Chains A and B, each alone.
Chain A
Amino acid sequence: MDDLQSEPVVREVAEPEAAVSVRPSPSRRAFLKTSVAVGGALLLGFRIPFAASAAERAQGLFAPNAFIRIDPQGAITLLMPQAEMGQGVYTSIPMILAEELDAKWEQVSIEASPPNDKLYGNPIFQIQVTGNSNSIRAFWTTLRKAGAGARAILIEAAARRWNVEPSSCTAADSEVVHAASGRKLGYGALIGDASSLTPPADPPLKAVADFKIIGKPVKRLDTPDKVNGKALYGIDAMPPGLKFATLAACPVFGGRVGRVDDSKAKQIAGVRQVLLFDDFVAVVGDHMWAAKLGLAALDINWDEGEYAQLSSADIWRQLRTASEKTGVVAKTVGDAAKTLAGGTRIDAAYEMPFLAHATMEPMNCTVHVQQDSCEVWVGTQVQTRAQSVAAKITGLPLEKVKVHFFLLGGGFGRRLEVDYIEKAVKVAQKVDAPVKLVWSREEDVRQDIFRPVYRDVLSATLADGRISGWTHRVTGSAVIARWLPPAFQKGIDIDAIDSAADMPYEIPNLLVDYQRDEPPAVPTGFWRGVGPNNNVFAVESFIDELAKKAGKDPLEFRRGMLGKEPRLLAAMELAASKAGWGSTLPERHGRGIGVQVAFGSFIATVAEVEVGKNGDVRVHRIVCAVDTGIVVNPDTVIAQLQGGLIFGLTAALYGEITIEKGRVQQSNFHDYRMLRIDEVPKIEVHLIQSGEAPGGIGETGTTAAPPAVGNAIFAATGIRLRRLPIDRDVLAGRKTV
């Protein structure tokens, strides 16, 4: 993982001008390696944004940087650059700041930051975005330095007041202490003096052994209000005078609104307006019920356009054809072509379906457009894009667009898009009041921006029980090219090849290439687990197939080729031992393993499944061993693994969006199934202690579950499923692969 030789896919981006550069710390190289390893191409630049606005100074607040505010009573407010969507950042980010600030945890409160890329941009992406499991990885050093810099000037302020050396003072629990004289001053009493001091550019950071908050299972700050109905999500915004709206977009991809008869809709009590746009129709009412009834009463004639006959079969045909063509080389080692030509080649192809995100909170956004201002209430993973899309549509300058950020009822990549904000602003432009546009679940599923279909073609040769040659062609959509065009370089989507180009096994001759193929009409986007979901499934399934060909136990086979990945090897040994690898299971039960280095974390997963004669698969147990470096909040890491594995199981067992006549065939939870409580296996997560820089965690479980389950199904039945979701007809013998 430490090779930086996959040079073509790595691009450094200059630090924003207004940001303050900080000299690289000794850990910079480790950070670099981690970031590159996970394909987070847009690097880097540590910086601590300084933003004490005039307004904040006037309020008498101590604002040593963009993240920390302390008032004269000592109350500490921390500004959150990242969105809380369940992953726990509204607790783990404050933990990092409070640790280095030596803040008393009970005095800390949090607030969403305003939208500002320069102050709050994700240090990996350079824009304000919560994604790629990198909140902690990206902000780790920035936040520590922000906390430590503020602590340093609070100590200096106290030392000056006491006329002692700063080095003779310490800080703890929001107080500076001069032990020699027994004097103490709370942070609140020091902010006046400290405000005139400049924080050091490179303040000393605590040793890991001195952490008091980081590494402890701290209770989440956001959860108490989530069990009593007080927590507010975007859908709960209720500005005075609010109107409610719902919409129907053309059910056929790429289609337009044709003739609409709204006479019946307008007779419904509570319906206020019927609004027609190029590709969708919205009904505005006094409440959602009126809006829904009004929408249902519309007689809409859609202009279905050129994709009215498109089907999944067409899309698979196109993808399979594209996958036969040579792609752009993403990584090459030795001479794979020659090795494959000279040995007994083993071939396999794996496929992944379209998926919808199905966040529990359907897409929604509330907007009030007035002549010279626009106010937006929304949950988003991209705060600055939310503001700029509203500015663009209204033609207002950015500062006239005020955005209120809410909790997200799930993100999973869906709220990295701003299509739902764009539509809400367009509706609000025609409504003389604030208006909340809420997607029905059916619209939410059908008008998603879908996880792309992928096809992975792999070939290998074996020699002496090891892999001697390996080729892997990834074919699929380049989401990066649309979502972050500057990161799409030389035909390579760094996300699409993530965990393929940098797969962990030592193979002397290897070639990974990428063939971009965009499905006709269907919009594609990021989905929890992104590129690694596809690649880890293909790689780990194929490794399992090769182990069988080599006549080796899957664990033993992997062990022989992971010499350069000691952290992964350790995770694999731990998972195998905790899972009782090798012990006998009942008939039709099987155990499968999968390993991954993804999002900067080293994870091994063992699944135990039972396959019924009717083809039904029951997952009984999952054991997961995780080395994610320094753990900020251990209980959150465990929760993310548990939840991520279940998210991945849902995809493996049920997830597929299909298309007929240009339309998505699924619509709601009855035909787009989610795993439910009675189907969930026992899950054990074992954390490995580490002093390495933190890895990412939010998406790792999602990536981990499907290959382990697929390999377990093979162990139970001898049937290799190379496509997700699993095909019960194949497992029951009703159909051949």
Chain B
Amino acid sequence: MFSLTINGESHSVDAPAEMPLLWVLRDLIGLTGTKFGCGIAQCGACTVHLDGTPVRSCQLPVGSIGARPITTVEGVGASAVGAKVQKAWLELEVVQCGYCQSGQVMSAVALLQTHPKPDDADIDAAMAGNICRCGTYLRIRDAIKHAAEA
């Protein structure tokens, strides 16, 4: 049994220690906002925050988390930066199919938390791990800048 703090709430889960957080969130807890895309940390669709740092949950064994708090896309809007990013995403109409956008939003929020005024190079560095097959990258870049201005 593991006790996890997710979006400020405590969850007890019965899972093998090596089970990736992605499947714990989706299949055991029912938080399906975090997406499965590749399973090998290549696409970023499964990005969550662990103690404020963006991590690929498909590679994070649940047994390694301990007491560190987890934030998922369902809870990220509770922070000022999270809400700002979600708003910018809608104002600039970033989203198409939307499947990758949970991960994009989580990566963008993490970027803005450490770099409140990111330049293009900062955005490239923080966001190049998130694939969008619909090709919303131009708007992602603009929306990050828009959120930074807000």
Contacts of B124 in A (CB 8 A): 677-678
B32 A229 Cβ-Cβ under 8 A? yes
B27 A288 Cβ-Cβ under 8 A? yes
Which residues from 80 to 129 on chain B have a C-beta closer than 8 Å to any C-beta of chain A?
Answer: 85-86, 89-90, 93-102, 105, 123-124, 127-129
Interface size counted on chain B using CB atoms at 8 A:
58
| A409-426 to B contact mask, C-beta < 8 Å, 1/0 | 111100000000000000
A677 touching B39 in the complex, CB below 8 Å, given contacts A227-B90, A229-B32, A359-B133: no
The CA-CA distance from A190 to B69 in the complex, in Å, is: 54
The CA-CA distance from A519 to B89 in the complex, in Å, is: 43
Closest to A445 in B: B38
A680 touching B86 in the complex, CB below 8 Å, given contacts A238-B30, A409-B97: no
Which residues from 196 to 248 on chain A have a C-beta closer than 8 Å to any C-beta of chain B?
Answer: 219-220, 222-224, 226-233, 235-236, 238, 244
A349 within 8 A of B: no
A287 touching B28 in the complex, CB below 8 Å, given contacts A86-B96, A224-B90, A360-B100: yes
B60 within 8 A of A: no
| A247-290 to B contact mask, C-beta < 8 Å, 1/0 | 00000000000000000000001100000000000000011110
B23 A643 Cβ-Cβ under 8 A? no
Closest to A671 in B: B42
| A312-340 to B contact mask, C-beta < 8 Å, 1/0 | 00000000000000000000000000000
B96 A87 Cβ-Cβ under 8 A? yes
Contacts of A635 in B (CB 8 A): 93
Which residues from 16 to 41 on chain B have a C-beta closer than 8 Å to any C-beta of chain A?
Answer: 16, 19-20, 23, 26-28, 30-40
The CA-CA distance from A683 to B142 in the complex, in Å, is: 13
**Which among B36, B100, B139 has the highest number of chain A CB atoms within 10 Å?**
B36
Contacts of B85 in A (CB 8 A): 227
* Total A-B residue contacts, Cβ distance less than 8 Å: 179
Point out the residue from A229, A361, A407, A642 that lies within 8 Å of B135, measured CB to CB: A642
The CA-CA distance from A270 to B23 in the complex, in Å, is: 13
| B57-97 to A contact mask, C-beta < 8 Å, 1/0 | 00000000000000011100100000001100110011111
Which residues from 629 to 650 on chain A have a C-beta closer than 8 Å to any C-beta of chain B?
Answer: 635, 639-640, 642-647, 650
A219 touching B36 in the complex, CB below 8 Å, given contacts A409-B98, A676-B128: no
**Which among A220, A361, A674 has the highest number of chain B CB atoms within 10 Å?**
A361
The CA-CA distance from A230 to B85 in the complex, in Å, is: 16
Contacts of B134 in A (CB 8 A): 86, 360, 410, 643, 647
The CA-CA distance from A174 to B130 in the complex, in Å, is: 43
B132 within 8 A of A: yes
B140 within 8 A of A: yes
The CA-CA distance from A179 to B110 in the complex, in Å, is: 56
Closest to B97 in A: A86
Contacts of A410 in B (CB 8 A): 97, 99, 133-134
The CA-CA distance from A407 to B33 in the complex, in Å, is: 13
A223 B86 Cβ-Cβ under 8 A? no
A365 within 8 A of B: no
Point out the residue from B19, B39, B73, B128 that lies within 8 Å of A440, measured CB to CB: B39
* 25 residue pairs bridging A and B, Cβ less than 8 Å apart: A86-B134, A87-B96, A88-B96, A228-B73, A229-B73, A229-B102, A233-B35, A235-B36, A236-B32, A287-B28, A288-B36, A289-B20, A360-B37, A360-B131, A360-B133, A361-B99, A409-B97, A410-B99, A410-B134, A441-B38, A668-B38, A668-B42, A670-B40, A676-B131, A680-B137
Which residues of B are interface residues toward A (Cβ below 8 A)? Answer: 15-16, 19-20, 23, 26-28, 30-40, 42-43, 45, 72-74, 77, 85-86, 89-90, 93-102, 105, 123-124, 127-141
5 A-B pairs with the lowest CB-CB distances in the bound complex, closest first: A229-B33, A646-B135, A409-B99, A86-B97, A226-B98
